[in-house]
A and B are shown apart, each in its own frame.
Chain A
Amino acid sequence: MDFEYLFQLLCGGLVKGSIYALIALGYTMVYGIIQLINFAHGEVYMIGAFVALIISGVATLSGYSGLSVLIVAAVVAAIYAAAYGFTLEKIAYRPLRGAPRLSPLISAIGASIFLMNYVQLAQTPDFLPFPELVPEFEFMEPLLQYVSSVDMVILVMTALTMVALTVLIKYTKIGKAMRATQQDQVMARLVGINVDRVISATFVIGSVLAAIGGVLIASRTGQINSAIGFMAGIKAFTAAVLGGIGNIPGAVLGGLVLGVAETLGAGYISSAYEDVFAFGLLVLILILRPAGLLGKAVKQKV
C-alpha cells in the first residue's frame, strides 16, 4: 500500500469535494425552501466562471495580474451570478409556484439549456484558458507534493465561505427568516416574513456560492467552456442528495465524500470511469438511504 499516493489522492479529493460542496449548498438551500431541483444552478456556476474569465482576461491583457485581479474577478463574478440567479427565479420559477411538481422541474431544465446555449452563442463553444492568477506561495514549499498553491487557496476560500454562510444563517435576520420559511412557509408568512424576498435571497446566496466555486475551479483546471456547468451541476446535486437534501452541513459532507470517492476511484481503478463512480454512489445512496447521510427520513402525511 502506497500511503503517499493515497494521501495525494485524498488531498485532491478534498479540493474537488470542497468545490462540489460550494455548488451543492445552492441546491440544498433552494430545495429546502421551495422543494425544487434548480437544474440551472450549474449554469449559474458556469456564468460565474465565465464572467471571472472575462474580467481577469481583460485585466491581464491590460497588464495587471496576481491575486488581486483574481479577487476583483471573483467579486464581479459573484455579483453577476447573483443577478442571474435572482432573474432566473423571477422568470422561470416564480410564475410556477403552486403548479404541479413536474412543471417547475421542466422549466428548470429549459432554463438550464437556454443559459448554456446563450453563453455558447455569446462567447464561444471552445475551451478557453483561464489566466493563472494564483502565485506560488513560498510557505507552501514543504507541502507542494500534496497540495499546490491553487488548491490551498481553494481550501481556505471554501472554509471561509462556509464560516460566513453559517454566520449568515445562524445569526442574521435574513438567516432566521430563511430557516423559518424552510420549516413552514405558511406560518412564516403569518409572522410577517416576506417569503418572496426570502426565496430571492436564497437564490442570490446560492448563486454567489456557486460563482465562488466557479472561479476557484476555473483557476485550478485552467480552462473553461460553456458546458462545464452541466456536469458540475449534476455532481453537486449528487453531493446534496448524498448529504441529505435540504440539510446544509449535509451538503458540505456530501460534497467532500463525493470528491474523495471519485478521486479514489479514478486513482485506483480507472480515470475514464470517474463520473460512473459519482453516479453509482448516487444510485446506491438513493436505494439504501434515500434521506441521505445526515438527513432525517420524513414521513409523508396525507
Chain B
Amino acid sequence: MTHLKRSLGIGLWFMFLTLPLMVVRVNTVSSEVEWRWANLVWAGLCAFAIAWLWQFSIERRAAKRAQVAADAHPQKRKPTLAQRLADDPVLNRRVLLGVGLLAMAFPWLVSSGQNFYHVNVMVSALIFVVLGLGLNITVGLAGLLDLGYIAFFAVGAYTYALLSKNFDLGFWTCLPLGGVMGMLFGIVLGFPILRLRGDYLAIVTLGFASITKIVLENWDTVFGGAAGIANIPRPDLFGIELDGRQKAIYTYYIVLALVALTIVVTNRLKNSRVGRAWMALREDEIASVAMGVDMAQTKLSAYALGAFWAGLVGVVFAAHNSFINPDSFTFMDSAMILAMVVLGGMGSILGVIIASLALKLMPEYLRAFAEYRMLVFGAVMVLMMIFRPQGLINDMRRKYEYDTADKEDTDGGK
C-alpha cells in the first residue's frame, strides 16, 4: 500500500515536472502556441508505472545482495551461460567455430546481385565492434574514462583520406599508417594528462575531441572543412576490378578480420603482465603503484593501444563510406561507443561485441524508434549503472577461491 501511495506521489511529481516542456509548445517564429494536455496524462501514468517497478527492483536488488552476503557457498550458484563458456574449453571452441563459420557465410546468405544493403549495414556495425573493443581496452581494462575516443577514429579516417588524395597511397599502405597515427595522437595527448584523476581525464579527452572536430571543420584548405572529403578510394584487391556487391563483401571480410584480430589481441593482453597491471590500476591506483606498477607507462600503453584500434578502423570507415566529414565524429558517437562498453560489461569482450552489434543494428532495423534512440541510450546508461553495473555479461576473471565455510565445517565448526 505504501508502494502505491509513493508511486502515486511520484506520478504527480512527474506530471508537475513535465508540465511546461511536454504540454506547451511555443513557436516564437510563427507566434503559435500548441497545448498538448494528453501528454501530461501519459507522463503521469508512465511515471507511476515506472516508479512502481523501480521500488520493486530496488527492493529486489537489496534482497539479492543480502542473500549473496548470507550465502556461505558462493560458487555453488548455478553457473551462467557465459561462465560455462569460459570454463569449458571444448564447448568454447565449438561455439567459436560455429559463430566464425556463420560470420564467414553471412554476406553470401543475405546479399544477391544488386541487393547488398545488409552487408553494408553489417560492415558499419562491425566497425563499431572494433571501436567498442578498442575503447574496452582504455575504459574497461585500464579504467581510464575516455570521452573523446571518436577523435582517434577521425584521425585514422582523415589519415587515409588525405594520404590517398594527396599522395595516391593505397588502402593497404594506409591501414597500418592510420593505426600508427591514432596511436601517436593518443601518446601525444596522453603524455601530459595521464597523471590526472579519472574525472579530469574524462573532461580533457572530451575537450580534445571537440578541438579535433573544430579544427577539422574550420581548416578547410587541408581537411575540406564541413563539406569533408569525397571520392575516397575503396579497398583494392591486387588491382582486380570488383562490382558493388563484391566490394561490400570484400570490405566485410576486412573488418571481420580486424574484429578477429582485436579479439585475439585483447584476449591475450588481458591475462598478460600489462593487462594485469591495467586491471590493478583500475581497481586501486595507489596500491598498484606501491606494488611496483609503472603508472605513467601502463596508462599510456592502454591509451595508445585503444587509440591504435580506433585509427586502424578509421581507415576502413573512410574506405567503406568513400566520403567523410566532421559530422561523423561528434560527441554523441563517443558517447555511443562508451555506451557499448558500459552495456556490454566493462572489460568483457563478448559483452562488448553483443552490445555493439545490438546498439548499431537495432536503430538500423527499427527505423520507427530511431528518433528515440539517444533518449533510450541515456536512460539505459543510468539504469545499467544502478541495477547492473557489471554490464550484460560479467567480465570473467580467473579466480582462485578458498571455501572458508567448508573448512570450518570440517574443523568441527569452531
Contact = CB atoms under 8 A, between A and B. Distances in A.
A134 B259 CA distance: 58
Contacts of B371: 121
Interface of A: 36-37, 47, 50-51, 53-55, 57-58, 60-61, 76, 80, 83-84, 87, 91-92, 95-96, 99-107, 109-119, 121-124, 128-131, 230, 234, 237-238, 241, 270, 272-273, 275-276, 278-280, 282-283, 286-287, 290, 300, 302
Chain B interface residue bracket vs A: 35 or more
Given A113-B335, A114-B379, A128-B28, A234 B385 contact: no
Contact of A122 (B18, B139, B143, B200): B18
B31 interface: yes
A61 B16 CA distance: 23
Contact of B204 (A106, A117, A276, A283): A283
The 7 closest A-B pairs by CB, nearest first: A110-B381, A114-B378, A57-B26, A113-B378, A279-B207, A117-B375, A107-B385
Given A113-B377, A241-B203, A273-B214, A119 B21 contact: yes
Interface of B: 13, 16-18, 20-22, 24-29, 31, 33, 39, 58, 139, 143, 145, 147, 192-193, 195-196, 198-200, 202-204, 206-208, 210-211, 214-215, 217-218, 286, 331-332, 335, 338-339, 342, 346, 371-372, 374-375, 377-382, 384-386, 389
Contacts of B335: 109, 113
A102 B198 contact: yes
Contacts of A105: 145, 198-199, 202
Q: Name, among B24, B39, B145, B331, the residue most crowded by chain A CB atoms within 10 Å (CB to CB).
A: B24
A300 B207 contact: no
A123 B379 CA distance: 19
B378 A54 contact: no
Q: Name, among B143, B203, B372, the residue most crowded by chain A CB atoms within 10 Å (CB to CB).
A: B203
A20 to B, nearest CB: 15
B21 A51 contact: yes
B385 A276 contact: no
12 contacts: A53-B28, A54-B20, A57-B26, A60-B28, A76-B20, A95-B58, A102-B143, A110-B382, A112-B378, A122-B22, A278-B207, A302-B286
B208 A106 contact: no
Contact of B28 (A92, A131, A272, A283): A131
Contacts of B210: 234, 275, 279
B26 A238 contact: no
B322 to A, nearest CB: 27
Contacts of B372: 117, 121
Contact of B27 (A112, A114, A128): A128
A272 B200 contact: no
B24 A58 contact: yes
Nearest to B21: A122
Given A282-B203, A283-B204, A103 B214 contact: no
Contacts of A57: 26, 28, 33
A273 B215 CA distance: 8
Nearest to A110: B381
B382 A92 contact: yes
Contact of A50 (B21, B39, B384): B21
B59 to A, nearest CB: 12
B375 A83 contact: no
A117 B206 CA distance: 19
Nearest to B290: A302
A119 B22 CA distance: 8
A37 B199 contact: yes
Contacts of A124: 25
A54 B338 contact: no
A117 to B, nearest CB: 4
Given A51-B20, A275-B210, A286-B193, A110 B379 contact: yes
